[in-house]
Chain A
């Protein structure tokens, strides 16, 4: 009998633990009480979030996150930057280890089921394919039956294999995938267009080109816990203010990104308000 009680109690406790992830609310109050905004950012993903020579995390989205911290807490130093990767960022957020994701988070319907998005601040190209200059690849359909390098957890991996019929060899991180491409383990590397474009600027990648152009552009936004409306509104207001002040255009210049129409349009719209 006692055993059954213990079992029921532990089942109940387990249920509570599983629910806890979704039940917390009021990130805005938490952040203000803590005096620090904890943000998940990339540290291997120029220009959005990467390490500079001094080993500090900098980048477009890092500046944006700091701006949000300044708006919420009065100083852009009241921020803790937590390096995340694509495969753990949403877990970090839902588990409460970070307050927001500013880490190249594309807006997709699947993600919208588990996180709330802030206002969209970038329209990023999806995947393209990097291949040697001699490559005859030109369109996505050409990948049928070909071995293509990729990164584990990329959202377009399923499309690559199931729709375009590519044989995907997916690595944990980018350096391995770039190495594998150089070793000719694959005919091309399918990954986020911005990263591949940046890679092409490096001297030892001059024999390579973007062989296949992105098949889609998707907006990028900050990821926030679901139903946390007060916090979302505060973050949106901060982002809109930064857009209105032309900050995002400044950061594009600062990090050597091509100036996008999307950001210019949003800056104009925000300035009018």
Chain B
């Protein structure tokens, strides 16, 4: 149809590459998403403590990692950190080699980038919480920690879930930039395949379809989660 030629898909090498590419994309996205959520929670928790220097530190972290392109962060982590001395000695060859692999560099920078966005999302969740609820919890005698964990966090999570869905899908798509620092994910292999076969359109369509499918699964799962977690007044549904 339309003169599309998918005969290259019959090549076992390309099948293998696509499979490895998808697996690496998923691995990178999974690591970065979990770490970003953790950073987001810890950061937002830190902000509620109202400690001056901690607040300043978290603000600085958010500004730096939210306002720089993840691509730049990855390149920085990959090329600059090892030059700055983040090296180790290879036990086999005795040579000085960079400590962080391409995958680690990508995972770390995506985690920090996603984490910075997640802190903001969680914070907005906490800040939009009605004061009355916080005061009610306080008057019931909850400790600072108990209030955060049992009252603020559950409500904040439900308020910011739609925002988190955006962040996670974005993070998933941003993994494609890791191909620049040689992480063999889906885009990395796609580029090599269309360079070998010149079937740019066909490869791009295929990759597009894979990304749409995987991202849709993520958004679907998160919207189900939103529905499941909803309670009266907060979250999707009833």
Contacts and interface: CB of A to CB of B under 8 A. Distances in A.
A201 B115 CA distance: 46
Interface in A32-65: none
A167 to B, nearest CB: 9
A169 B182 contact: yes
A270 interface: no
A264 interface: no
Contact of A153 (B82, B83, B192, B201): B192
Interface in B172-224: 179-180, 182, 188, 191-192, 195-198, 200-201
A42 to B, nearest CB: 16
Interface string A2-24: 00000000000011001100000
A139 interface: no
A227 B191 CA distance: 27
A122 interface: no
A171 B79 CA distance: 12
A90 B196 CA distance: 11
A183 B83 contact: yes
Interface string A149-189: 00011110110011000000111100010011001110000
A263 B107 CA distance: 50
Contacts of A198: none
B227 to A, nearest CB: 33
Contacts of B97: 183-185
Given A18-B3, A169-B182, A183 B79 contact: yes
Contact of B196 (A15, A110, A172): A110
B200 A91 contact: yes
B100 to A, nearest CB: 10
Contact of A87 (B13, B180, B195): B195
Given A171-B182, A183-B83, A185-B98, A158 B197 contact: no
B10 interface: no
A259 interface: no
B98 A111 contact: no
B135 interface: no
Contacts of B200: 91
- Dominant SS among interface residues on chain B: helix
B2 interface: yes
Contacts of B160: none
Contacts of B182: 169-171, 180
Given A14-B2, A162-B13, A113 B188 contact: no
B79 A87 contact: no
B90 interface: yes
Contact of B2 (A15, A162, A169, A179): A15
A87 B187 CA distance: 13
B98 A87 contact: no
A155 B195 contact: yes
Interface string A112-132: 011000000000000000000
A153 B2 CA distance: 26
A86 interface: yes
Interface string B74-101: 0000010011000000100001111000
Contacts of B188: 152, 170
Interface of B: 2-3, 13, 79, 82-83, 90, 95-98, 102, 179-180, 182, 188, 191-192, 195-198, 200-201
A-B residue pairs, 8 tightest by C-beta: A153-B195, A169-B182, A184-B97, A114-B198, A184-B95, A18-B2, A162-B13, A152-B191
20 contacts: A14-B2, A15-B2, A18-B2, A18-B3, A152-B179, A152-B192, A153-B191, A153-B192, A161-B13, A170-B182, A170-B188, A171-B182, A180-B79, A183-B79, A183-B82, A183-B83, A184-B95, A184-B96, A184-B98, A185-B97
